[in-house]
Amino acid sequence: MTIELTFYTTDGCHLCEEAKSLLQQLLAKHPECYQIEVIDIADSDGLIEQYGTRIPVVKTSAGNDDLGWPFDYASLLAYVES
């Protein structure tokens, strides 16, 4: 079963680059388990309003909660496995 993740980010966000690296680690270790959709919040006023001060944010398709920065690899793994 593949878990779909949404990664809310934007260009020029150094914290987003750190989070992207953590997501790349997750994919490298579990390539068959996760699929990541990258969404640039700059493309939507609604997303800027919702996530503008919180990015980077990761959200699973299964739940209503999300994981906002700061997080490390261990908390990312715990979030996606919950």
pLDDT at position 22 is 98
pLDDT at position 75 is 96
pLDDT at position 82 is 84
pLDDT under 50: residue ranges of the chain = none
Residues contacting residue 40 through CB under 8 Å, at least 6 positions apart: 9, 10, 11
pLDDT at position 61 is 85
Q: Answer whether 22's CB lies under 8 Å from 77's CB.
A: no
User: Superfamily for 3-18+31-81?
Assistant: Glutaredoxin (3.40.30.10)
pLDDT at position 12 is 94
Per domain, the residue ranges of the chain are 3-18+31-81
Instruction: Give the Cα separation of 61 and 2 in Å (integer).
Output: 11
Asked if the bond preceding 31 is cis, omega within 30° of 0, the reply is: no
